[in-house]
Structure 1
């Protein structure tokens, strides 16, 4: 059993995230678009019909 607040857990997660970032698997960026709460999906302007979820 491990708590996510334990130092060893924090250290491992930080290391994993750093490796993923260095490999380019994750990155910092911005996204702009419409979000549909029921679908839990982001949509671009071109995917929408009358600004409603397809």
Structure 2
């Protein structure tokens, strides 16, 4: 069983998603990423373990 989260941990998790576009499903996220990549270069789509939605990021 997982340990309960502290308020500080939860605050950090929520702030990790702050300001990022959220997509409800991977199909939509990939469609938008394809268009964005034409303008800004390589983009990856990832499923966020904190909010449960999809975000865009830059490959490392």
TM > 0.5:
no
Give the structure with higher Rg (CA): 1
Structure with bigger RCO (C-alpha 8 Å, 6+ apart)? 2
Higher helix share: 2
Q: Please report the TM-score for the alignment, with normalisation by the length of structure 2.
A: 0.29
Q: Please report the TM-score for the alignment, with normalisation by the length of structure 1.
A: 0.31
